[in-house]
Amino acid sequence: MTNPMPLFIKDDTTADLVAQLARQRGISKQDAVKLAVKAELSRMARAVPLRDRFAALRAAHKLPPPTGLAADKAYFDELSGGL
């Protein structure tokens, strides 16, 4: 492991959030930061990329085969009541 480096939080909102998490968990601010960062890294590791989610949707919900019919503006106008 490399030499530990101090982490200075200069943003009041972030410092307040860390303090709030520390109080609610009954842990130190350092442990609160560690907990939050580990949770976010874990969440990111479990996240499924959008490309993979779409591929799963396409596999589960296949499109019907093409009919060979033209779907032009007139066709869609007729479907919507000739607007």
Check: CB of residue 21 under 8 Å from CB of residue 32. Answer: yes
Instruction: Give Dmax over CA atoms of the chain in angstroms.
Output: 72
The Cα 73–Cα 50 span in angstroms is: 31
Could you read off the pLDDT of 22-56 as tens digits, one per residue? 999 999 999 999 999 999 999 998 899 999 999 99
Contacts of 28 (CB under 8 A, 6+ apart): 22
Check: CB of residue 18 under 8 Å from CB of residue 9. Answer: yes
DSSP 80: T
Check: CB of residue 38 under 8 Å from CB of residue 25. Answer: no
Reply yes or no on whether the pLDDT at 1 is more than 70: no
